[in-house]
Structure 1
Amino acid sequence: MLFGLVFCTVIALLKGLALGSLAISDSQLLGDVLDASDNFNDESVVKAFVDELVALSHSSKNISACDQCVTRLAVGKSLALLRPELVPRVFTKWCQITKYMTNSTCVSTFARNTVKSSYTGTNFADMLSLMDPFGYDGQLYCCYKESACSKPKTPNVTLSHMWPAKQAKHSVAPVPSANDTFNVLHLSDFHIELDYTVGAEANCSASMCCTPHSSNTFANITSHPQQAWNSFYDSSYMNDTFVKGSSVDAFKNGSIWSPATTFGNYKCDAPEVLINSSMNSIAQYSSDNNIDFEFAIFTGDMVDHDEFSLTSYKMTVESEELVFRDIKNKLGDVPVYAVMGNHDNFPYGELAQENHGFLNYFSYNAELMADLWEDYGWLGPKESQYARKHYTGFSVETTMGLKVISLNSNVWYKKNHYAYWNSTQPDTFGQFEFLIDELVASEKIDQRVWIIAHIPFSSDALPLPAKMFAEVVARFSPYTIANIFFGHTHLDQFEILYSGPGNDAKTIENVVASSWISQAVTPWVNNNPSWRYYTVDKETFSVMNAYNFYTKLNETFANNGAEPVWELEYSSREGYNITWPETAPLNATYWHTVASKVNESVEYNQMYENYAMRFSPYVPNCANSTSCDLNYCFLTSFTVDQYDDCVASVKSKK
């Protein structure tokens, strides 16, 4: 009885605080519950909290969805401070009882972590114990994780105290040399599907397709629409040679609507044979054309997109090891500088700060990657040790003098629970301090820098880190930062940073910097597999051109199991028909010119979409749909706020 009375008092206070009528500290809440809970077992505590959360969900007439979400966080925080191990049970039960999400999503979101499933409930409880539910933390979480609150205003903070004043010479990029270049390979987003199964359902209604657990429940299946397909072989590459495997009777199972073919499908992640085919095409092209790569960059994502219940610790590690092994086997002595993607961690998308008690959750991956990269000769002992200890970023100097800075983008990923506490602070992970220190050191010795990361800052990032990164880039461009490279979107894209706010600032005079966003090898979803390489000026490390290669995946469906044909898709200098000096790099001014054409012309918008998806059968028709309307916003936005403002402007004009 005592616990019930105190609990009801605490909840009433929480509700009042959510509505702005009361003020109470976490220590008061915790003290009340601590005093009362000693005499009650786990089931009583769980039931009391679940009942209150359910009652809160049923009070929609009296409290807004946003206030409900914030109050849930406060209720959860009081439990997380007292009994964090009960938070997953409480929130999973509440979610399922109220049908707040589907049963499986409730489990994947709130159930506790295990080594067999990438559930994130333990990370949710960690976040609750640290966050301020009634401040910016709670508003931010309820906006991006539950879509219950409007987007809160991004805090007006700065990192400018961390660098010296910008000298005049640092406002001008160094001039490239005369046609003296080298080559750099860019790979991204392999998403190896370890359980890819030839003949499995490739048009599934849930989970990842092309696997033993794929199924189609869209409609009653009476016939197979893909009877012309004949590429059903368990093929592989043995000692760099393609081996056409045994034939699979893909049509014997009448419940399969669209059987998975040998090299993949547009609704599936990449089978290893497709990844090996892409790497084989790179090696073959390099040999046939006498082209050597000075080094390669890999911008993340090795693990597939399957359900969290099927994404285990073992599968995550095995995917990472297999991908890097395959890259090493094909590239030999070519150094590879890599970043981890949002899928390349366990649990999915999570990464904690190093100094708040959760380091042991994620240090395994930094240690694994650092050891592997050092074993392969990609990092020296010093760089490897730093990458092992400080897993949010490391730097390496190439033999030619270029510095490559690798950043772990889970720091700013909107699905990372640890990014939602103390979120008004610009650098809780210490990553920007590391980045700025590296840039300041390079600027002092006139060294140019490449930055590589996985998630672009206007795509799936939180607003404040995006704003901070743009501030850093503006300070150190165009003199020190030569190029920025991302992956993640699976599309062939770019982004431009301008010096002024708003769409009116998107002029050639205001261009500051740009980033390259690489296409993916995985065809998921609706894209042709692709890779690229750059020709790079030896003196300035500016990109002079990019050559994009792809394979038409749909042509492998009915080719009787033959290898895919990889071919040049386009070069970035010639592909957009822009008049541009041969001696000028493909810098932000060049990409501003392209973006302006995309904005002004349906023809260029369509050209951009064709390249973005690599001429897949699913490229939208820009003349007859609204699918292309926001392309200009994406290309000319460098932060979350800039993109959101641009989209709002476009929609207001319709």
Structure 2
Amino acid sequence: MQLPVFVLLPLLVKFAAASVLPTDIDALANEANILQNYEIKSDEQIISSVIGQLNHTLGTSNNCTACVTRLSIGKTLVETRPDLVAPAFTKWCLDSGFYDANTCQQNFGISTIEHSEGGANFADMLSYMDPLGYDGQLFCYYKEGSHCKKPATPNVTVSNMWPPKSPEHMAAPEPGNNGTFKVLHISDLHIDMDYTVGNEANCTDPICCTPRSHNKHKLNGTSPYMGYWNSFFDSYYNDDFSFEQGTEVNPFNNSNVWTPATSFGNYMCDPPERLINSSLNNVIDYAKQQNFTFDFTIFTGDMVDHDWTKEISLEDTIKSEESVLRDIKSRLGSTPVYPVLGNHDSYPYGQLAPEGFSFSNKFTWNTELISDIMQDYDWVSNEEAQQARAHYTGYAVETKMGLKVISLNSNTWYRKNDYAYMNASNPDNFGMFKFLIDELVASEAKNQRVWITAHIPSGSSALPLPSKMFAEIVERFSPSTIAGIFFGHTHMDQFEILYAGSGNDTKSIENVLNHAWIAPSITPWGGINPAWRYYEVDSTTFSVMNMHTFYMKLNDTYTNNGAEPQWQHEYAARDVYNVSWPATSPLNGTFWHLVAEQVGQSVDVRQTYENYSNRFSPYTPVCKSTKGCDGDYCFLTSFTLDGYDKCMAALPK
């Protein structure tokens, strides 16, 4: 077969010597195509040739040129033998040590139903991306460790998709006199179906507390926790939600375990199902004690654990999603739940293709699964479930109170989603923003208030162009139509403020337009305490009047002889910051602007914010001695990625 091979050592020497820009590669590629087109007779020879070309890129001093060249090599290969992209790039990555073995497999390995690896998705991306343009520069900045400089965000807009804003929609409606109702918000459960009491919780793997977890350093002697920690029980919850302590385990029989996993979890681990059930039991118990019910629940995603992708199968993904949603249904009963999918709730991990491509059917299974569950559990109507199945970038429901909830699949703007780098300068490559705008236009026309839910925040966590487009949309429909925006993903208790101008430098109280709530996680992975929250919502305007967060001190469960965790009310948003605020006013962007100003000006307030963000975990940063707190103000006051990057760059070094 004919395979054009266009990257030769002499050409790479020219790259390095001249320090050419990626825009110069077109001429060199054409020159190489003329120089060499030869017959290769076997798959092995093709793979060997491609590996040789990829190895040549490691010899150039210009990392950006090298990265873009590797993408160009892959694009040439995918045009003739897409089936060889994964094996060629995987073998090259492993043999060259470009990444560690697990990352090589995750990025380039052949995905099967047994292993969530992204080689086929990488090949799909190459078939439609422009390696020499914005696509390649963006990929090389975010996916290859800043090998290229961050490219300038394209100056595009989606403003042609909506009508002019009328004067009547310039201000938010004032709260009414009909009282409030309650809405539950839970996020980032990350159930670990393999969690095993007694296994290593101080591991050198990405996720601990499983049968595979280990510490590469040998333990000399016995665990330092022997004689102190005593919570090692295979406990569980019955169908009637009652707690059973279960059988006691003696983890200290294993001399190789540094820190044994206790009954309800560890800060280095995703939670066992019993911890998730404990949190949901607390939700219901508290509501009963206070004599109220939740009118509905928003769940902002991530059900699957953080294990290596090679350890996660399609069956594991489905089982995790079904288990989490089943547990939520069993505890919340008839309360409607409106879920979104997180970056872990996909297969392979983090991937989602634009609809309309030949490979987009790889991802319809997940939309169909979640839509079927929502309909079976009576969370949505048949018509709403059909809409959710129709396009997997989002769905909309209207609550019984008249509020519309629009749920978006934020994997469309996730940095680890290979498909997000195809035609990346298109302002609406996935069609999600058209769906969102159409729903907002329809709601605005009848003065209907809207909540938007998604998993990944649009500020510091999204790719720059969709971040900019989302901010443009929110600005257009704020503060009149959009009453609330809700995210998860970071595992922290946070917020983001939108100012007029979608990322300009004027962060004044007069310019505040809206804000997003970022919910804390149930999983303690990463060093935080598990938490959930609920909102008191004005029944007329659907603005949030107050927010309450509940948490559990996970380290208290290490020495409680296997008893149930004790959850407690952590704080109410109105009470913990020294902000003079009318009792009749909602906790809108202006309120959070005043909080953010204090965070930026006072180390003590910054510490208060960090305490609540981490839920008083033992790993909470100490802001007086930790520079990590210095970026808090930038995070809180940046609704776009470009705005966040600019703010961070201006911080004192």
What is the TM-score when the length of structure 1 is the normalising length? Answer: 0.95
What secondary structure sits across from 1:274 in the alignment?
A: helix
How far apart, CA to CA, are the structure 2 residues paired with 1:453 and 1:103? 32
The alignment covers a number of residue pairs equal to 645
Report what 1:23 is aligned to.
26
Consecutive unaligned residues in structure 1, runs of 5 or more:
none
Aligned residue number for residue 237 of structure 2 = 237
Question: Is 1:188 equivalent to 2:191 in the alignment?
Answer: no
Q: Share of identical aligned residues, percent?
A: 54
Q: What is the alpha-carbon distance in structure 1 between the residues aligned to residue 601 and residue 590 of structure 2?
A: 17
65, 68, 76: which one aligns with 2:66: 68
Matched, 1:88 2:86: yes
- Which aligned pairs between 1:396-475 and structure 2 lie closer than 5 A? 396-475=397-476
What secondary structure sits across from 1:410 in the alignment?
Answer: helix
Aligned residue identity for 2:229: W
Query: Do the aligned residues in 2 keep the contact of 1:18 with 1:70 (CA within 8 Å)?
Result: no
Contact 1:203 1:267 in 2 (8 A): yes
Which SS does the other structure have where 1:394 is aligned? strand
User: What does residue 115 of structure 1 align with?
Assistant: 113
Q: Could you tell me how far 1:503 is from its partner in structure 2?
A: 7.2
Per the alignment, residue 481 of structure 2 pairs with 480
What is the match of residue 207 of structure 1? 206
Alignment of 1:487-526 (within 5 A): 487-500=488-501, 504-526=505-527
Contact 1:18 1:71 (C-alpha < 8 Å) held by counterparts: no
1:124 to 118, 122, 125: 122
Q: Is the 8 A contact 1:26 1:78 kept in 2?
A: no
The 10-residue stretch of structure 1 (350-359 or 271-280) with the greater mean CA deviation from structure 2: 350-359
Is the Cα–Cα contact under 8 Å of residues 462 and 641 in structure 2 kept in the other structure? Answer: yes
Output the aligned Cα RMSD: 2.0
> Does residue 626 of structure 2 align to residue 621 of structure 1?
no
Give the aligned residue type for 1:236.
Answer: Y
Report Cα offsets for 1:304-323 as digits up to 9, x if no partner.
00001101100000000000
- CA gap of 1:102–1:580, structure 2 versus 1, over 3 A, is same
CA 231–176 in structure 1, closer or farther in 2 if over 3 Å, else same: same
- Contact 2:116–2:310 (CA under 8 A) maintained in structure 1: yes
C-alpha distance in structure 2 between counterparts of 1:71 and 1:506, whole Å: 41
Deviation at 1:12, TM superposition (A): 7.1
- Unpaired segments of 5 or more residues in structure 2? none
Distance of 2:23 and 2:466 partners within structure 1:
28
Change (3 A) 1:201 1:564: same
Q: Deviations over 1:225-246 (max 9, x none)?
A: 2120000000000021000100
Relative to structure 1, the CA distance from residue 257 to residue 479 in structure 2 (aligned partners, 3 Å threshold; closer, same or farther) is: same
Q: Deviations over 1:361-413 (max 9, x none)?
A: 10100111101100000111111011112000010000110000000000000
Aligned to 1:282: 283
Q: Deviations over 1:149-185 (max 9, x none)?
A: 1100000001111111111221110000136100000
Report the CA distance shift for 1:75/1:565 in structure 2 as closer, same or farther (over 3 A).
same
CA apart distance, 1:30: 9.2
Name the residue aligned to 1:104.
102
Residues 32-58 of structure 1, C-alpha deviation per residue, up to 9 Å, x if partnerless?
A: 99x845x61111111111111112212
Aligned to 1:161: 160
Q: 1:281 to 1:9 in 2, by over 3 A?
A: closer
Deviation (angstroms), 1:517: 0.1
> 1:454-485: per-residue Cα shift (whole Å, max 9, x none)?
00012331000000000000000000000000
| Contact kept in structure 2, 1:113 and 1:121, CA below 8 Å | yes
Q: In the superposition, relative to structure 1, how do residues 502 and 189 fare at CA in structure 2: closer, same or farther (>3 Å)? A: closer
- Please say if residues 484 and 514 of structure 1, whose CA atoms lie closer than 8 Å, have aligned partners that are also in contact: yes
C-alpha deviation, 1:7, in angstroms: 2.8
1:330 aligns with 2:331: yes
Matching residue's letter, 2:71: L
**Structure 1 stretch displaced more, 99-108 or 584-593:** 99-108
Residue 554 in 1 paired to residue 545 in 2? no
CA distance 1:355–1:12, shift in 2 (3 Å): farther
Indicate conservation of the 8 Å contact 2:512/2:590, yes or no. Answer: yes
| Counterpart for residue 216 of structure 2 | 217
Q: Distance in 2 between matches of 1:28 and 1:114?
A: 38
User: 1:46 maps to what in 2?
Assistant: 47
What whole-Å deviation, never above 9, does each CA across 1:190-213 have from its counterpart, x for those lacking one? Answer: 000000000000010113100001
Partner of 1:580: 581
Q: SS at 1:472's partner residue?
A: helix
3-state SS of paired residue (2:163): coil
Distance 2:487 2:592 in 1: 16
Per the normalisation by structure 2, the TM-score is 0.96
CA distance in 2, matches of 1:25, 1:162: 40
SS at match of 1:521: coil
Counterpart residue number, 1:386: 387
- CA apart distance, 1:593: 0.4
TM superposition shift of 1:502: 6.5
Distance 1:440 1:643, change over 3 A: same
